[in-house]
Amino acid sequence: MSSGRDVFIFSAGKLHRKNNTLYFVNEEGKSQPLPVEQTENIHLLGNVDFNSSLLHILTQHQVRLHVYNHYGYYDGTYYPRNSTISGYNVVQQSSHYLNPAKRLFLAKAFIQSGVHHMVRNLRKQGEATKPYVDTMVSRVALLDAATGIPQAMGVEGQCRQVYYEAFPFLLKNTGFEWSGRNKRPPKDPLNAMISFGNGVMYTTILSEVYKTALDPAISYLHEPSSKRFSLCLDIAEIFKPLLIDPLVFTLVNNRRIQPKHFRNEDGMYFLSEEGRKIFLTDFEAKMKETIKHRKLGRQVSYRYLIRLEAYKLIKHMIGDEIYKPFKAWW
């Protein structure tokens, strides 16, 4: 278990409230207090029991509870009532979904940023990946002619396919193999780690969107759904290739995560508990890293960059400033 803004619970046990304090009791009966006042998110990666009394205190302190299944893949979130929600903003956000041209503008922006970061990852490999980069640049240019969401998603899919074809150039003789992206279930370790990372990215984005007046269920690239916060999937298009993919390849190329850190059950691969701890430790460290923001003129963390993206969307929707998606410039 780690402390700080996010608490990750890997062990089986019980999470309960006693007076105004949270406690986690593991299977051996050892009790550990959790500083709910300093916690923003609790991630349950073990089989943990809890009751409605716990949810009450989480609501009081605006703490999100993220639940993962046996394989470490994201299942769902307890999302306390949002005190920052604005009726005016929800109306404006909805109007941008209902207007085809406004929706397409935002959908294209998410794709352009995502492809920018995919290309950025490949360019770091030099001449070996130049043909893939050139192909992706030519494909993403077709986005300008897209007249609807299906066409735009088709362009994104073509770019992503080329990107995945170049993945072997990002591996440094680590013993990992790559034959293409697969999920539900992941059929090899690399796909398992990417899926795990994408789930963590989703919950991180949800947590940052929660602090703004955006409604996470109203989206533009992905179709809004009653079973997911689809705006988080839109914003994830920007940050998955910027943060998750480089982290995956850094961990495997530095041999911090090895084939031994994975399990295989009936053809489904997933990270072991040790593997998840390694991944999450480095992910949290990355979220705390800072860059000099060109517009703000000060250092901001990668985590805060996500919230800034949400603020930019709000400004766009209320007519203050045209949305320009984040694109790493370094």
> What is the b/e burial string over 28-50, where b = at least 16 CB atoms within 10 angstroms of the residue's CB?
eeeeeebebeebbbbbbbbebeb
Is 223 marked within a binding site? no
Cβ(36)–Cβ(80) below 8 Å: no
Is 28 marked within a binding site? no
Hey, is 263 helix, strand or coil? strand
Close Cβ partners of 28 (under 8 Å, ≥ 6 residues apart): none
Length of the chain: 330
Tokens of 83: 């005190």
Provide the phi-psi class of 173: left if phi over 0, else alpha when psi is between -120 and 50, else beta. Answer: left
Question: In 3D, which of 248, 156, 167 has the Cα closest to residue 200?
Answer: 248
C-alpha 130/C-alpha 117 separation (Å) is: 15
Is 274 marked within a binding site? no
Give the sign of the dihedral formed by CA 234, CA 238, CA 239, CA 243. Answer: positive
Which of 183-191's residues contact partners 24+ apart within 8 Å by CB, and which partners?
A: 185/71, 185/267, 185/268, 185/269, 186/268, 186/269, 186/270, 187/267, 187/268, 187/269, 188/269, 189/259, 189/261, 189/262, 189/269, 190/248, 190/252, 191/269
Cβ(220)–Cβ(99) below 8 Å: no
Indicate the annotated binding residues.
Answer: 156, 222, 237
Indicate the annotated binding residues for Mn(2+).
Answer: 156, 222, 237
